[in-house]
Chain A
């Protein structure tokens, strides 16, 4: 019977087209919305992860204790070796070296003497190695105000406001005065490649972004790095996965009695992100729940409408002697088929649009004052495994319930009235 009905659904366009379209659109919206909400809620979290916290972050015990001071003297040493081990143990995680440091940036006049000077917050990250993802991660290309991204070692990015304060332009040289890993005062010359907008006052005021290898040379951090941040394989934070990696790492590598032993923190452990993670999970859940209920009602209605559309057909079939029960069952099986076909289509379409939004993002530039590092001007969707099945709940179940309710009418039909309807 299923094969017969399937043929019917496929061949009789009038019977299948509109219901399938409605189910598909409904399912598509559900899938898309879920992916969107997940992405939207996760954006702030990912932003924090990308900029500072990572999905997991490794540092020394002593560093973790004084983390707000960025004490580079408490950095992890023998990094190359350590990274190799990390990559071997957690091959699916993308590790990234970071150094946050403070210092003074000094702009020279024509005689090489101080023209202007200001305190700076520095962020060292891998800009120059060819397969580094850090530039994309921090939206650096889009946040450029003037100049270009660093292409050679010794080139840095500086916040636009800071560059104006120091009266320097891309191409100019500035000197960083900071303290080295062992506390000596160091000076290092950099060339400004470009200026950036961060979108947050405190960062715009005085920030520089420097290639990690340059920072290591400048601050005398030979084979040392203060933080190693890791990103989970699909690029999105998953608290459970992060926790299990943290447990594994800390049980193997950490030793609370050694202040320089490495320790791992998850995104949730840092800067109140834990509360935000829970918050966003609940929000996504609420929103999805409301939406699925609404979606179910719409598809239920669509099931009702679909059955009504075929009032005439049902009449003929009853007139020809089909039992009411048989007609009813066949309609329900049909609705299951339509529900499945619609849901498959819808899920596919929903995933397709969600994927586009995940890759390219929704541009909200019109509402923002230009792109910046901390406020990306796009909102991105995020596809999770749930998106592959969530559409089937309203898509199949509601369609079938709608048909079931509408089909009850068949039992109320009177044969005498049927013929009258057939005349029309």
Chain B
């Protein structure tokens, strides 16, 4: 076997440019596949990280009536903060959010919004809640970029908010937009206004009430609390998983074609090798190699292309992939001008498993493709082969 590998190596290197062309194409497959899978994984991480940072933290408790898609049920979907949570809230590892329905009137147009009351001193979410402490002559409010765009509001603008308190009594007040944040998370931005939770509780006459609770850590101890539903991180990010799944399915066709292309080169080379090296094959058989062993020799030689490719790929791939991971893949567009919910720079993430499976898949495919034309050797007549006669 050792000899076979040595021989295969010599043969390959001896073929010069031809080998290197195959190796370069194969190494492309390695690098491109790892990079693209890395981008997908990076996207997945980015989307989930943004959700963690701006919306879901490490997981949430929802009031049993709470349904973010049903604004009409909002005012009924809150309750007093349960005693079980008081410790966690005190330590800042759990933040209550009160969500109610309201109407804003930017420029005399009516627009329904979800008003979210949040602790200005919270540190779990990256929403700039500290700005809610600003002392101004109106209620300070923070909105996401999407709301800013749809309602044409910007920092410093005043807008009337009308709401109904727990008794159904109308109330209205001026809000002043103290900050606009961009999160890449539409569900944390669209149609939502953030204000101080204490202020909102006072406005609604709902003291100590909350609609959802957000954990800092995902490994938080879940306890059963009556009237509240646990929403795990996995459950909250299901939509992201679905999207990534679709994209990955679409990409795998691309990997397949890229591999097919590299294999075309390997296949062509193998066919020619066997055609040109009949004398050599005859000699091996004459020397006492079984046909199987000769087939093995040629298969090893073909497969070695992928090993060389892995090495070559590593030479230029590792710096490239590392550079990408650090600097990100910046989309050559200015997404912000569209107020769009997507990160401008994606940072690819490469897991060991991802690299390992990619290498394994390429090697196995190469081995199979090298083996197929080699089978022909088994049917050769050794004496004819030795004479180099075409068969």
Contacts and interface: CB of A to CB of B under 8 A. Distances in A.
Interface of A: 18, 22, 25-26, 29, 32-33, 36-37, 40, 43, 66, 68-69, 119, 201-202, 205, 272, 274-276, 278-279, 282, 287, 290-291, 293-295, 297-298, 300-302, 304-305, 308-309, 311, 362, 364, 367-369, 375, 379, 405, 424
Interface of B: 17-18, 21-22, 24-25, 28-29, 32, 69-70, 72, 109-111, 150, 239, 242, 245-246, 249-250, 253-254, 257-258, 260-262, 264-265, 268-269, 271-272, 275-276, 279, 331-335, 337-342, 387-388
13 contacts: A22-B268, A40-B253, A119-B72, A205-B69, A205-B70, A278-B333, A291-B258, A294-B29, A298-B268, A300-B21, A302-B265, A305-B269, A308-B272
Contacts of B249: 364, 367-368, 379
B214 to A, nearest CB: 20
Contacts of B70: 119, 205
Contacts of A275: 333-335, 337-338, 340, 342
Contact of B25 (A201, A202, A294): A294
A272 B28 contact: no
B338 A272 contact: yes
B260 A304 contact: no
Given A40-B253, A279-B331, A298-B21, 9 more contacts: A272-B339, A291-B261, A298-B265, A302-B268, A305-B18, A364-B246, A367-B246, A379-B249, A424-B388
Contacts of B17: 304, 405
A364 B250 contact: yes
Contacts of A69: 109-111
A36 B254 contact: yes
A304 B21 contact: yes
Nearest to B272: A305
Contacts of A309: 272, 275-276
Given A275-B342, A304-B17, A362-B253, A202 B22 contact: no
B258 A294 contact: yes
Q: At the interface, is chain B mostly helix, strand, loop or mixed?
A: helix
Contacts of B250: 40, 43, 364, 379
Contacts of B111: 69
- Which A-B residue pairs are the 8 nearest by beta carbons? A272-B340, A301-B21, A298-B265, A278-B333, A424-B388, A364-B249, A275-B338, A272-B338
Nearest to A304: B18
Contacts of B334: 275
Nearest to B253: A36
> In this complex, which of A297, A311, A368 has the most chain B Cβ atoms within 10 angstroms of its Cβ?
A297
Contacts of A294: 25, 28-29, 258, 261-262
A29 B342 contact: no
Nearest to A283: B331
A424 B69 contact: no
Nearest to A291: B258
Contact of B69 (A36, A202, A308): A202
A379 B253 CA distance: 10
Nearest to B331: A279
Contacts, number: 129
Nearest to A203: B69
A276 B339 CA distance: 12
B107 to A, nearest CB: 10
Contacts of B272: 305, 308-309
A36 B21 contact: no
A88 B33 CA distance: 49
A301 B32 contact: no
Nearest to A41: B250
A306 to B, nearest CB: 9
A274 B253 contact: no
Nearest to B186: A272
A356 to B, nearest CB: 13
A272 B341 CA distance: 8
Nearest to A290: B32
A33 B257 CA distance: 7
A297 B253 contact: no
A408 to B, nearest CB: 11
B13 to A, nearest CB: 16
A249 B111 CA distance: 30
Given A201-B239, A301-B22, A308 B276 contact: yes
Contact of A298 (B246, B264, B337): B264
Contacts of B246: 364, 367-368, 375
Given A36-B253, A295-B261, A424 B21 contact: no
Contacts of B387: 424
Nearest to A405: B17
Nearest to A201: B69
B338 A274 contact: yes
A424 B275 CA distance: 13
A403 to B, nearest CB: 13
Contacts of B269: 301, 305
Given A202-B69, A291-B261, A297 B21 contact: yes
A37 B276 CA distance: 38
A203 B32 CA distance: 37
Contacts of A25: 264
Nearest to B263: A298
> In this complex, which of A66, A202, A205, A364 has the most chain B Cβ atoms within 10 angstroms of its Cβ?
A364
A18 B268 contact: yes
Contacts of B29: 294
Contacts of B335: 272, 275, 279
B257 A297 contact: no
Given A26-B264, A278-B333, A367-B245, A287 B21 contact: no
A338 to B, nearest CB: 13
Contacts of A32: 257
Contacts of A282: 331-333
Contacts of B253: 36, 40, 362, 379
B109 A298 contact: no
A40 B110 CA distance: 39
B25 A424 contact: no
Nearest to B335: A275
Contacts of B276: 308-309, 311
B296 to A, nearest CB: 23
Nearest to B24: A297
A308 B17 CA distance: 12
Contact of B28 (A37, A293, A368): A293
Contacts of B339: 272
> In this complex, which of B150, B250, B276 has the most chain A Cβ atoms within 10 angstroms of its Cβ?
B250
> In this complex, which of B18, B24, B265, B340 has the most chain A Cβ atoms within 10 angstroms of its Cβ?
B265
Contacts of B110: 69
A52 B153 CA distance: 25
A308 B333 CA distance: 47
Contacts of B257: 29, 32-33, 36, 291
> In this complex, which of B21, B260, B337, B341 has the most chain A Cβ atoms within 10 angstroms of its Cβ?
B21
Nearest to A424: B388
A415 to B, nearest CB: 20
A18 B268 CA distance: 8
